Amino acid sequence: MDKHKSLLSLFQIIDSFFPSGAFAYSWGLETYVSEGSIKERSGLKRFLEAYLSGTIKRCDALLVKLSHEAAEKGDIDTIFRLDRLIHSMKLAREPREGSIQIGRQLLNVMMGLHKSNLLEHLAEGISNGKALGHHPVVFGIVCSVIENSKDEAVTAYLYQTVAGIVSAGLRLIPLGHMDGQRVIEEIKLLIIKIVDDVSLLNEDDISAFAPGIEIRAMRHEHLYTRLFKA
């Protein structure tokens, strides 16, 4: 695939216009705002720093990389195993279900756009119960199919995560669009650091520790009013 087309395909799957359903999730942010813990831009930035460092770096982002590597080898059994592994690490119900919903939607759309035996094998594995289709796993595979590098895949996944949470923050706190752009600008160095760190990690390094965010994600389903699914 031409490098420019690969890059455009990557832009396509992380664009807010892409029909993955990711816009419907705040990943615990809504509970913090509802409790009054986050009221301004600085609070949104702190949430993002904690979320990326504690929940995403050694879990979702690393699974993107590992799934990409497995896809490059055509190793569908490893892909199934990684998918089940991340499922076991998603403790809160809503984020766990959200990861599956977004991942399967990404898979379905991309199967309609790209002919790939690997995507078809994954879809078959989901239908027969060998896999669930979590978003980081599907994302890593898709990026391999559209010929993006591992680092590009991880960077794009992190940016999409940040942009989605910032978008939720603009609606919840609320903030102006310039505030949102400032947060994204301020978080770029952390994204770059995480990409560099993940490049040195392997499967033995998979972990996640963000108890405050996990608890808020669990509390979210009991909020009196909600704008988001998680």
CATH number, domain of 66, equals 1.10.4190.10
Q: For residue 208, tell me if it sits in a domain.
A: yes
Give the residues of the chain that fall short of pLDDT 70: none
pLDDT in tens, 155-175: 999 999 999 999 999 999 999
Asked whether the whole model's pTM tops 0.95, one would answer: yes
For residue 130, tell me if it sits in a domain.
yes
- What's the pLDDT score for residue 77? 97
Does any domain span residue 9?
no
Identify whether 52 is part of a domain: yes
- Tell whether 19 is covered by a domain: no
Structure confidence at residue 175 (pLDDT): 95
pLDDT reported for residue 3: 87
- How confident is the model at residue 1, as a pLDDT? 74
Asked if 82 contacts 90 with a C-beta cutoff of 8 angstroms, the reply is no
- In the chain, the number of structural domains is 1
- State residue 128 phi and psi, 5-degree precision: -100, 10
Domain that holds residue 147: 39-220
Q: What angle do CA 35, 36, 39 make, to 5 degrees?
A: 140
Q: How far apart are CA 220 and CA 213, in angstroms?
A: 10
Residue 213 lies in a domain: yes
